[in-house]
Structure 1
Amino acid sequence: MELYTNLRRGEKGAWLSIGAYVFLSTLKLVFGFAGSSEALKADGLNNLTDIIASIAVLVGLRISQKPPDENHHYGHLRAETVASLLASFIMAVIGLQVLLGAGRNLFNPTEQTEPSLYTAGIAFFSALVMYGVYRYNLKLSRDINSSAVKAAAYDNRSDALVSIGAGIGILGAILGAPVIDILTAFIVGLIILKTALDIFKESVMTLTDAFNEDEVETLSVIIRKVPGVRKLSDFKGRHHGNVMFVDLTIEVDPLLNVTESHWITEEIERKVKKTKPNCVVLVHIEPDYSDYDDSAQEGD
């Protein structure tokens, strides 16, 4: 039940991100148009995509709390991943729109006017707000061990950096290089696309049951060191939201009784969960006859 409690706590981070993005996107778009800043407008559109991504995290966290049923024996933990995948498509569309707009303005410089100085101040103010949200969500993700909230925190941090870049671009335009403001908007569009691609790749990897090779190696070393494990003959892993499912086949002394074999499985589960708290471990035991085969061959 601790997992579902943590999922509910994770909603606080999603709500904070949504509130911050709604406020900042409105602020940037209004003053971006009023102050003639392409970079600030692009940053505002970037925050609109972040609202969508944060809502996707919120919806995913809410659906993930539903218990297993007859059609979902492992629960609904992948709902968050599906929502993230949909959000990545929306983010990509908006990123392309920002790039097209910046491209049109780049080849029509006569239509551009110098951005107002206050638009730079708004950009830097937004960076400070998002850095504060980043620190809160990062601490929350560590407290509840949530990869989703941690990803949201890193998204908050990237948005703070984007706002700093927008502010620098605006200052450059004010100092006599208006093309810098347009180029900054172009860079923001690329960042939106890059973020969308990263979310898409991670979501697809999770939904297709991909598993990190480094995690396999780390857990395999832990399992092989458990007393009584003679051989780790099979290892399969997959992710369902924040939960990792690991299926193992180990070989043990064939003369062990059921109680002794069961102790080995419990020790494996204890050691794995010490490293990966949100991990469900399923262990299948096989007898290891290698020593007996060798003895038989020596007798022959």
Structure 2
Amino acid sequence: MELYTNLRAGEKGAWLSIGTYIFLSAIKLIIGYLGASEALRADGLNNSTDIISSIAVLIGLRISQRPPDENHQYGHLRAETVASLVASFIMMGVGLEVIYNSVMNIFDPVRETPSTLTIYVALGCALVMYIVYRYNLALSKKINSSALKAAAFDNRSDALVSVGTAIGIVAAIIGFPIIDSITALFIGIIIIKTAVEIFWEAVQTLTDAFDTEEIETLSALIKNVDGVIELVDIKGRKHGNVTFIEVTVTVNPYLNVWESHRITEKIESTVKRFDINCTALVHIEPHEEYSGKD
């Protein structure tokens, strides 16, 4: 129940991003048009694409809450990771578009002088996005959500884009329009870097990669469980914000079923104390070399 409560809490962050992007994109497009700022209009279009990314995250969180069924016996938790993957692709597309436009403008700079109002709008929007970024990042850590973490980094990228937009507008007003394009180029690189990081983390999860340090820590804890003679094998995988550990241990072959079962319960509780969202699947085997002495 706590898992699905966390996923529902994650929806608040997705909805906050969607609402903020709708509001800011409208403001930037309107003021950018009235204030003759190509940079602010481009920033507004950037936020329009972010609406799609946030909707993808929201859909992923919704699907993740579905209970296990016949075809998904581990549940639908990886839908959240798929949402992160989709968000990374959208961010890459936006980053490439920003880089392309900035390079084109370096060779053919826009000479139209924008209104000073567009500077304040860009900075104000950057502040709003930074606040949303901090909220979503804190929430993603609290509920251990990869999709919401991806959304938070997208929020941060958009805040940086707006700051860069403001710098470019100032440069255009004082007579150096090329700085607008150079700033946009660096911002595009930052967006691509963030997208690649999110993409790599999602791919690692979907291909069942697992943190070796976490495996080593769990191995040490399980080996110290009373009744465990040898840890034969341990594997781990991530499903959204849930971890599944498969453990094979050997025990005294002369224990009865009840005593062996108690050892599996000790292992499960030990793993839970390490990580409340970690579930252990324990397989018990008789220790062949055991002498039979307690």
1:168-202, Cα deviation, whole Å (9 max, x unpaired): 34334434422111112222222232233222222
**Greater alpha carbon shift after TM alignment, 90-99 vs 67-76:** 90-99
Summarize the Cα distance change of 1:290–1:122 in structure 2 as closer, same or farther, 3 Å threshold: farther
Give the letter aligned to residue 20 of structure 1: T
Per-residue deviation, 1:33: 4.2
Instruction: Determine the structure 1 residue equivalent to 2:194.
Output: 195
Per-residue deviation, 1:97: 2.1
Per-residue deviation, 1:291: 4.6
Instruction: Determine the structure 1 residue equivalent to 2:24.
Output: 24
Instruction: Determine the structure 1 residue equivalent to 2:269.
Output: 270
Partners of 1:135 and 1:237 lie apart in 2 by 30
Instruction: Determine the structure 1 residue equivalent to 2:55.
Output: 55
Instruction: Determine the structure 2 residue equivalent to 1:89.
Output: 89
Per-residue deviation, 1:108: 0.9
Aligned length: 293
Per-residue deviation, 1:139: 3.9
Partners of 2:215 and 2:43 lie apart in 1 by 39
**Partners of 2:79 and 2:240 within 8 A in 1:** yes
Instruction: Determine the structure 2 residue equivalent to 1:141.
Output: 140
Give the letter aligned to residue 186 of structure 1: L
Where do residues 186-265 of structure 1 align in structure 2 (5 Å cutoff)? 186-265=185-264
Per-residue deviation, 1:7: 1.4
Q: CA RMSD in A?
A: 2.4
Partners of 2:83 and 2:144 lie apart in 1 by 20
Instruction: Determine the structure 2 residue equivalent to 1:298.
Output: none
3-state SS of paired residue (1:76): coil
Structure 2: runs of 5 or more not aligned: none
**Partners of 1:99 and 1:186 within 8 A in 2:** yes
Instruction: Determine the structure 1 residue equivalent to 2:176.
Output: 177
Summarize the Cα distance change of 1:156–1:221 in structure 2 as closer, same or farther, 3 Å threshold: farther
Summarize the Cα distance change of 1:114–1:290 in structure 2 as closer, same or farther, 3 Å threshold: farther
**Partners of 1:56 and 1:80 within 8 A in 2:** no
Where do residues 23-172 of structure 1 align in structure 2 (5 Å cutoff)? 23-109=23-109, 111-172=110-171
3-state SS of paired residue (1:284): strand
Give the letter aligned to residue 107 of structure 1: F
Give the letter aligned to residue 258 of structure 1: V
**Greater alpha carbon shift after TM alignment, 6-15 vs 226-235:** 226-235
3-state SS of paired residue (2:228): coil
Instruction: Determine the structure 2 residue equivalent to 1:289.
Output: 288
Give the letter aligned to residue 257 of structure 1: N
TM-score normalized with structure 1 length = 0.87
Summarize the Cα distance change of 1:151–1:222 in structure 2 as closer, same or farther, 3 Å threshold: farther
Summarize the Cα distance change of 1:37–1:267 in structure 2 as closer, same or farther, 3 Å threshold: farther
Summarize the Cα distance change of 1:104–1:272 in structure 2 as closer, same or farther, 3 Å threshold: same
Per-residue deviation, 1:268: 1.9
**Partners of 1:39 and 1:184 within 8 A in 2:** no
TM-score normalized with structure 2 length = 0.88
Per-residue deviation, 1:125: 0.8
**Partners of 1:148 and 1:242 within 8 A in 2:** no
3-state SS of paired residue (2:227): coil
Summarize the Cα distance change of 1:289–1:17 in structure 2 as closer, same or farther, 3 Å threshold: same
Give the letter aligned to residue 278 of structure 1: N
Per-residue deviation, 1:42: 4.1
Structure 1: runs of 5 or more not aligned: 296-300
Partners of 1:125 and 1:135 lie apart in 2 by 16
Partners of 1:15 and 1:37 lie apart in 2 by 29
Partners of 2:32 and 2:263 lie apart in 1 by 63
Partners of 2:38 and 2:219 lie apart in 1 by 52
